[in-house]
Amino acid sequence: MKVIAVEEHLSTEAFLRTAHALDVIAGDEAEMALMRTVEESPVLRARLVDVDARLREMDAAGQDMAVLSLNPPGVQPYPATDAVPLARAFNDELAAIVRRYPGRFGGLGTAAPQDPAAAAAEIERVMGPLGLNGIMINSHTGGRYLDEPEFAPLLAAAEASRAPIYLHPRMLAAYRDYGMSGAVWGYQAEAGLHAMRLILSGTLDRYPGLTFVLGHLGEGIPYWLRRIDNRHAFAARTAGAATSMPRLSLTPSEYFRRNFVLTTSGMDDPDVLGLAVGAVGEDNVMFAIDFPYEDPAAAVAFLRNAPLTEDQRTALGHRTAERVFRLT
């Protein structure tokens, strides 16, 4: 079975040298202190930057291809004047890696939402001259989310360029205590918040052709879909039952099934996988490892042994990724 993994982070020495010398925007200091500690760890840094070692690990695990993306939170914690050229330089490096290893890597470019017009131009360059397969947005930018009006140029460019947007979680202040800031809890809660803002704001009525990718089997949303629809309908027909909310053309779950694709990254749980496939369909779930933070061999073994039909396994293993990211 062909295996494509689609949330596979990397960095380059040039990016890390430049980024680690920059000041970060107010409010992002704690997150960047943690991420810089991770990126300066010799073991993790080597796994992020050593492409040839990664290929050997992929071969050992039985993984055919990886869709690469910049280690989070990318360029979003930096002032726009620094972030815009940093994104361009990284995307050039990423495109060169993809060209150097045909058939082994795809790539999700990065952009700087701090400057929405520049981000829109970079999305067009990523999907055009650079020939990459989508973009990764590391959720909020300075506490702002993509449903907010200033990001309209970015969303319009993504829709026009047919660029899937992988929404990767970031930290929020509310989750800083007790180790909740990252993958223990805060990541899924923060990215799930972003997805629900996009759905409930009417953003997906304005940009119906957008495709968003959510890791970790949907950041908890599949578990809540029935209640979300039920309570949204109640609030829509009951005056005073909720804060102000726009009128939507579809139910929340219909947007979720139409505009979102899920990945398995870090969620090697057969029960949760079954729930996600049941919620959105086998053609809207893709395999991912979350390299270098999860074990590739264990993730591939989970894909091969999960209680799926062979058609479902094929869809998760490569067919959906090939469609969503237009991989050849």
Active-site residues, by number, are 290
Locus of tokens 């960095």: 11
Q: How far apart are CA 120 and CA 55, in angstroms?
A: 32
Exposure b/e, 283-302, CB count within 10 A at least 16 = b: bbbbbbbbbbbbbbeebbeb
Q: If 0-12 CB within 10 Å is exposed, 13-18 middle and 19+ buried, where does residue 177 land?
A: exposed
Rounded CA-CA distance 42/100 in Å is: 25
How far is it, in rounded angstroms, from Cα 138 to Cα 73? Answer: 5
Q: Is the peptide bond prior to 164 cis by the omega test (within 30 degrees of 0)?
A: no
Three-state SS annotation for 280-319: HCHHHEECCCCECCCCHHHHHHHHHHCCCCHHHHHHHHHH
Contact predicate 171/284, CB 8 Å = no
Cβ contact 324:7 at 8 Å: no
Measured in degrees and rounded to the nearest 5, phi and psi for residue 165 equal -110, 110
Q: Measured between alpha carbons, how far is 286 from 261 in angstroms, rounded to an integer?
A: 8
Contact between residue 46 and residue 124 where contact means Cβ atoms under 8 Å apart: no
Taken as a whole, the chain contains a residue count of 328
